[in-house]
């Protein structure tokens, strides 16, 4: 994950890489999600995909003049907003270690334990408390019905839905979970996040057949709607049809 000179983020990522409790919670999340429920990955690969996507979206939006919540309300920096989205991304599914339903709520106390260990490495008590509150808000609002009230929280919610490429759907599909969710996910080849033209962010989703539209319309669309950052995102589906590519545009 590119820290780009953000020393606080770099130090916190070093902590994450070496924290046995966090690594074990990710393992437990996957035991519940994959082995017991037949769902897709909710462990370290998933959260790193979410964190990278969230960080890329945040940086594009900041470069295009969008002000993060921690900057607007607390007078902190864009680098601190990067810390918020990355930590929220890597901690958002910890509750999956023991429950699927309301996992976003159960993730909060587990995440708080991690935050209390790592944030003092970079922040004063006051600053750490602010960062923790922003991270926890993003965690609890990544799943409906909780509504994101900051740019950072909205970004994490949307980024969570972008882990949909074909290889990521194979686990539930091969375990026999053949429904519209897994079948449509198999159609997704590639997901890219780029700076857009009319809107800061363009999310481009390449798919092998129109079944993948379900992922965009019902799953990604549900995440973008009510995220609070709808006005900054354009989504396009690129459907391979023989030698041609049909582009379907969404403004969700």
Looking at the fold, whether 129 and 228 belong to one and the same domain comes out as: no
Looking at the fold, whether 129 and 150 belong to one and the same domain comes out as: yes
pLDDT tens-place string over residues 52-107: 999 999 999 999 999 999 999 999 999 999 999 999 999 999 999 999 999 999 99
Helix (H, G, I), strand (E, B) or coil at 71: helix
As a whole number of angstroms, the distance between CA 179 and CA 194 comes to 30
Looking at the fold, whether 31 and 146 belong to one and the same domain comes out as: yes
What residues make up the domain containing 206?
Answer: 166-250
Looking at the fold, whether 240 and 136 belong to one and the same domain comes out as: no
What's residue 67's pLDDT? 98
Sheet holding 244-250, edge to edge: 188-195, 201-207, 233-241, 244-250
What's residue 178's pLDDT? 67
Give the global pTM: 0.92
Looking at the fold, whether 118 and 175 belong to one and the same domain comes out as: no
What's residue 123's pLDDT? 98
Looking at the fold, whether 62 and 28 belong to one and the same domain comes out as: yes
Mean pLDDT, consecutive 10-residue stretches, the chain (252 aa), reads: 90 96 96 88 93 98 98 98 98 95 94 98 98 98 92 97 73 60 80 96 92 84 92 94 85 67
CA-based torsion, 50, 92, 168, 189: positive or negative? negative
Q: Where is the domain boundary, 111, 141, 159?
A: 159
Looking at the fold, whether 140 and 179 belong to one and the same domain comes out as: no
In a domain, 2, yes or no: no
Burial class (CB in 10 A: 0-12, 13-18, 19+), 140: buried
């Amino acid at each position: 994950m590119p820290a780009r000179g953000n020393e606080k983020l770099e130090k916190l990522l070093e902590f994450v890489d070496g924290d046995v409790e966090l690594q074990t919670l990710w393992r437990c999340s996957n035991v519940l999600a994959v082995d017991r429920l037949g769902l897709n990955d909710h462990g370290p690969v998933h959260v790193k995909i979410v964190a990278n996507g969230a960080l890329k979206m945040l940086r594009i939006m900041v470069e295009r003049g969008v002000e993060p919540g921690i900057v607007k309300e607390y007078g902190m920096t864009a680098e601190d907003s990067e810390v918020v989205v990355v930590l929220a991304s890597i901690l958002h599914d910890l509750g999956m270690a023991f429950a699927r339903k309301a996992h976003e709520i159960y993730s909060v106390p587990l995440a708080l334990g991690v935050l209390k260990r790592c944030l003092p490495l970079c922040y004063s008590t006051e600053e750490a408390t602010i960062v923790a509150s922003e991270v926890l808000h993003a965690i609890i609002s990544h799943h409906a019905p909780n509504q994101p009230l900051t740019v950072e929280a909205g970004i994490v919610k949307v980024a969570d839905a972008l882990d949909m490429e074909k290889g990521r759907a194979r686990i539930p599909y091969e375990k026999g979970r053949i429904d519209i969710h897994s079948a449509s996910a198999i159609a997704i080849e590639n997901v890219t996040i780029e700076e857009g033209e009319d809107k800061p962010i363009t999310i481009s989703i390449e798919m092998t057949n129109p079944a993948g539209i379900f992922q965009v319309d019902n799953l990604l669309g549900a995440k973008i709607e009510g995220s609070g950052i709808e006005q900054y995102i354009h989504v396009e589906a690129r459907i391979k049809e023989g030698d041609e590519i049909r582009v379907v545009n969404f403004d969700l």
